[in-house]
Amino acid sequence: MIPTIDLSTPGPGGSARPALLREIDAAARHLGFMQVVGHGIPDAVLHGLQRGMDDFFAQPLAAKQRWRPPSPAINRGYTSPLSERLSYSAGVASAADLFEAFNVGAAGSDFPQLGLDPITYAENIWPGDVPGFRPAVQAWFDEAGRLARRLTRLFALALGLPEGHFEPYEDHSIDVLRLNHYALPEGVARVEPDQLGMGAHTDYGIVTVLWADPVSPGLQVQAPDGRWVDAIPQPGALMVNLGDLTARWTGGRWTSSLHRVLPPLGADGRVTRRRSAAFFHDGNADAVIDTLPTCRGEPGAALEPISVAEHLRRKLAGSRGLQLNEAAAAESARILRGALG
């Protein structure tokens, strides 16, 4: 169901192969999800990330909670289990999500000449008691960022635009790497019947680059007919999916699919460990998203322009602030349509 796309073989003179661009366009139109191989991220960088995640999440809850942000508005540091509800970002109430997470991202100090908002571009909160965590996570952040920007260049070509079309929208992008860990919280004996590892939602920005343990049940994507289908990554592949801003940019030609994570239950009914690392490439806060010139005839081209900052504010107020997103009527309807799928 999730197509696999090989990025490793360029066309003549190092250009993008026409077949590759057609594959990207087809995957983006149908589901908004694809698996990419030939991405060029070294195995050593992935193994370092995995070790860092294991060392951090193995700590007692009290130790991890020392690295929480001072406010939910600051999308950095540690998030405890049962403290977020991703479906709220799509306008649907749900039980608290099981996952715990640790977030790092692009900081204002990375762009000192721009005077960026200190909440949107918050400084990172690095745990000082986990040796090797910071360099390992930073290495993955840098590699995933390079891949995300490579993908946006390919997206531009697949949409009939100049290769560098998106560069002015991403030169101080709100990039966030979220490290997720799924396990029953301390003191919780079982999963509630309606509880998910992560509730149904669309991603908010331009593109997401995801590494995940190949655990089933786990990630599921909602197909166009409303069914939920498994999205288990192949060995060596990274999952790539489009966010809301790309769907809006393309007037709906490309889709931002709903997805969720089922509790990873083993045969004995216990929650098994599942890890994932989602790199969100969301664009510059001050960028205004309006329909692309090559997509002005698409059905969704009438949507009003919106700034990246305002769109993310609405979404994060849902998932982290637990305020139902009233601007997500389309996503709400899609979740309810697939509720029995």
What pLDDT digit, counting tens, does each position of 229-282 carry?
999 989 999 999 999 999 999 999 999 989 999 887 766 666 778 899 999 999
- Best CA proximity match to 158, nearest among 40, 318, 18, 42: 18
For the chain, the farthest-separated pair of C-alpha atoms sits apart, in whole angstroms, at 59
Report angle CA 182, 183, 185 to the nearest 5 degrees.
Answer: 120
More confident residue, 90 or 121: 121
Q: What is the mean pLDDT of residues 280-294?
A: 95
pLDDT bin (cut points 50, 70, 90) of residue 335 is: low
CB-CB neighbours of 103 under 10 Å: 21
pLDDT bin (cut points 50, 70, 90) of residue 188 is: low
Residue count (the chain):
341
pLDDT of residue 134: 97
pLDDT of residue 16: 67
Q: What is the mean pLDDT of residues 206-212?
A: 97
138: three-class secondary structure by DSSP: helix
Domains detected in the chain: 4-337 (2.60.120.330)
pLDDT of residue 11: 58
Q: For the chain, what is the mean pLDDT?
A: 88
In degrees and rounded to multiples of 5, residue 306 shows phi and psi of -145, 145
Does 28 have pLDDT greater than 80? yes
Instruction: Give the pTM.
Output: 0.93
User: How much of the chain exceeds pLDDT 90, in percent?
Assistant: 63
Does 334 have pLDDT greater than 90? no
More confident residue, 89 or 186: 89
Does 227 have pLDDT greater than 60? yes
pLDDT bin (cut points 50, 70, 90) of residue 182 is: confident
Does 12 have pLDDT greater than 80? no
User: How much of the chain exceeds pLDDT 70, in percent?
Assistant: 89
For 165-177, b/e burial (b = at least 16 CB within 10 A) is bbeebbebbbbbb
Residues 86 and 331: beta-carbon distance below 8 Å: no
pLDDT of residue 341: 41
CB-CB neighbours of 190 under 10 Å: 12
Q: Name the one residue in this structure whose structure tokens are 């809850």.
A: 61
Q: pLDDT (tens digit, 9 = 90+) per residue, 37-96?
A: 999 999 999 999 999 999 999 999 999 999 999 998 899 999 998 888 888 887 777 788
DSSP-derived secondary structure for 94-161: -PPP--EEEEEE--GGGSTTT---TTTTPPP---TTSTTHHHHHHHHHHHHHHHHHHHHHHHHHHTTS
Q: Name the one residue in this structure whose structure tokens are 């769907």.
A: 247
Distance, in Å, from the CA atom of 141 to the CA atom of 274, rounded to the nearest integer, reads 20
Burial (CB count within 10 angstroms: exposed 0-12, middle 13-18, buried 19+), residue 312: buried
- Best CA proximity match to 213, nearest among 32, 12, 21, 57: 57
